[in-house]
A and B are shown apart, each in its own frame.
Chain A
Amino acid sequence: MKRSKKAALVLTVPVATLLIAGCEKEVQGMVYNNPDECSTGGWNSAEQCEADYATAKALHPQVAPKYVNKQECEADFGEGKCETAPQQTASGGSFFMPMMMGYLAGQMMNRGGANTQQPGGANMQQPTAAGAGTSVPSQPLYKSRDDRETFRTATNTPVAKGVGPVSFKPSQVKPQAGRLVRRGGFGQQAATRSSFGS
C-alpha cells in the first residue's frame, strides 16, 4: 500500500495558553503621580517614597512598550506623551516609548500584613501568606491616549482610576523585570506579500 495506514487529527482546536486563574490572593499598593505626592500623603516615609519612585523610574526604560516610530507610539499614548528609548534597533535606529505618568508603590504589602485588610478572595487565603513573601516591585505606570484617567502597567493592565490605594493580584502587575521584550520584528513583509507558503 502506498498510502498512510491512518490519517487522523487529534487537536480539533488550536492549542491555547491557559490563563492562570483561581486562588491567587490580592495584595495592596499605592498609586502616585510623583514622590512628593507620596510623602505628603503620609502613608510612607519620604525615603520610602523616593526609593519606590527610583525603582519605578529605573524599570521604566526596560518595561515600557517600544515602538519603531514616534507616530505609532503617540497614536497609543497621545501627542507629546512619547520619548526616545535608550535601546536601539538592530540597524541602529531609535525606539520610542510612552512617558512614565505615575508609579505603583508595591511595598505596601510587605509591611503590616496583620493590619491591612485583604479585600478580595478572603475565603481562599492561607493565613501564612498574608503580604510578606510575595513581592511586587514598584513600577512605572502609563496612560493611554483615549483614557487619560486610568493608570496602566507597561503591559496595558489597568491598575487604578486616579491616585490612591489599590488592590490587585501580583501576577496582573508582574513586570518583566530587567528584560526588554520586543515583538513584531518578524513578518514585516506580511504587508507586501500575502502568502508565504509555496
Chain B
Amino acid sequence: MQRINIAERANWRAYAEEVGFDFHTFDGEPYWDETAYYQFSLQQIEEDLEAPTEELHQMVMDMVGDITRSEEMLTQLNIPRDYWSYVWNSWNSGEPHLYGRMDLVYDGTGPAKLLELNYDTPTSLFETGFFQWVWLEEQIRNGALPGRADQFNSLQDKIEQAFIQLELPTPFYFTSVRDNAEDRGTVNYLMDVAAQAGKNVRYIALEDIGVIGDAKDGSQQFVDLDGEPIRGLFKLYPWEFMVQEEFARAVTDGNTQMVEPAWKMLLSNKGILPLLWARYPDHPNLLPAFFETPNSEPMAAGWVRKPLFSREGANVDLITTGGEQISAAGPYADGRYIRQAFHALPKFRDEYRNADAYTMVGSWVVGDSAAGICIREDATLITKDSSRFLPHIILD
C-alpha cells in the first residue's frame, strides 16, 4: 500500500460537473483529490480487504436475528420499543437489503480493523463506483498508468445485478433531503444504475413525501406529489431519525417496501461494535469495544468514544496511546455512547500539500458480496465528511 503522486487530468472538474458531481470541491476545499492515488497489491486487496469484508459482513448478518429477539440488545441499541416488532418482521420476512460500507483501518500489513459499519445511509457511492473508475480508465488511456493496472471496484456491476434481481414495486421511488448535494449524488447514481437495470425510477424530495390517512381505519400510507401511493422507497435518511419524526407511523402502518429495510437500523448503530466484540472476542478484524455506562471509567489513553448514532465522524472523542486528545464537534451529542479501543489510521505524506494525511479504507458490500473500496484522507485521526476522496489502483 503506497501513496503515489500523479498529475491531475486536465479537464476533470468540467467533466465532474457535466456528470452531476458538483460537490467535488466543498467550501473551497478539495473533496475529490486526484493529485495522488493509493496502490495496493492484489494479495493485499484479496486477502486483507475483500475476504475480511465478507467475513465481517457474515458475522454481523448472523447476529441480526438474535438481536431482533433480544430485549436486552434492542435496549442497548436504543431502538424504540414501538419498533421492535416492525424490525423483527422486516428481518423475518426477509426484506432485502441493497448495500453498505464498512470503514477499516489498514496500513498494508496485518489484519484490517473494523472501525464501524455504515449500513443504512452510506454515501460516496458515485465517487467510488463511477468517478474513480473513469479516472483509472482515463489515466490508462493517457499513458499515465500501465494498462494492467486494475481497481477493486465492482460496485456498478454489482448494484446493477442487485437491481435486476431485487423484486421491487413499480414505480420505485428514491428520496433524500432536498438541497443536500452529496446525498443527492449518491441517490442519483443509484437511480441511474436502477434505470439501467430496467427499473422504473422516480425521485421525490424527503420533505415532499405525503401521508394520507385511510378514511375507514385511520391507517397511514405514503403518497407522492400526485397523491399516488409510494409502494417502494429507497431512503437516504437515517432510520433512527425516521422513527422519531411525525410520519413515523406511516412506516409501520403502510405497505411501503423500504430500502434499506428496518433491520439495517441495528447495524448502522455503533452499538453493533460492542455486541460484535462480545460475540467474537479477539477476532483479528475487530477492536475491543463496550457500551459506556454511568459507571464507566473516565476516558483513558488509547480509547475512542463514539455516539450510538453519529455520522461523518461527528461527536467522536479520542485519546491516542500517546495521550493526545482529539475531538470532532457535531450535532449528535444527545444520545448514548460506546467506547472502542484506539487503533491509529496509517499516516502518509501528502507531498502536494506538504502535510501529513491519515488514511481510512471504506469497503463496500452489495447484497452479501464485497464490491470494492474507497479511500478517504484527513489531516486528523478522525475521518469526516470533509475528508478528501482519493482513487486507488491494484498493481503488482
Interface residues of A (CB under 8 A from B): 1-12, 14-15, 17, 68, 87, 89-91, 176, 178-190, 192-198
Contacts and interface: CB of A to CB of B under 8 A. Distances in A.
Contacts of B223: 181
B331 to A, nearest CB: 5
Given A2-B45, A181-B212, A196-B121, A187 B237 contact: yes
Interface in B200-251: 201-203, 206-213, 215, 223, 225-227, 236-238, 241-242, 244-250
Interface in B95-140: 101, 118, 120-124, 129-130, 133-134, 136
A98 B150 CA distance: 62
Interface stretch (B83-91, B153-161, B279-287, B340-348): B153-161
Interface residues of B, number: 74
A14 B188 contact: yes
B130 A9 contact: yes
Given A3-B136, A189-B241, A197 B124 contact: yes
A195 B312 contact: yes
A77 B213 CA distance: 25
Contacts of B246: 68, 89-91, 182, 184-186, 188
Nearest to A174: B227
B311 A178 contact: no
A13 to B, nearest CB: 9
Given A188-B245, A195-B183, A198-B121, A10 B192 contact: yes
Contacts of A181: 210-212, 223, 227
B312 to A, nearest CB: 6
Nearest to B247: A185
B204 to A, nearest CB: 9
Is chain B's binding surface mostly helix, strand, loop or mixed? Answer: mixed
Nearest to A20: B226
Interface stretch (B64-72, B174-182, B294-302): B174-182
A7 B186 CA distance: 14
Interface of B: 19-20, 42, 45, 101, 118, 120-124, 129-130, 133-134, 136, 150-158, 176-178, 180, 182-183, 186, 188-189, 191-192, 195-196, 201-203, 206-213, 215, 223, 225-227, 236-238, 241-242, 244-250, 268, 311-312, 331-332, 372, 385, 394
Nearest to B249: A90
A196 B238 contact: yes
B152 A3 contact: yes
Contact of A195 (B153, B182, B201, B245): B182
Given A4-B129, A7-B130, A196-B183, 6 more contacts: A2-B151, A2-B153, A6-B156, A182-B210, A185-B211, A197-B236
Given A183-B209, A185-B211, A198 B122 contact: yes
Contacts of B248: 90
A6 B245 CA distance: 40
A183 B268 contact: no
B236 A189 contact: no
Contacts of A1: 150
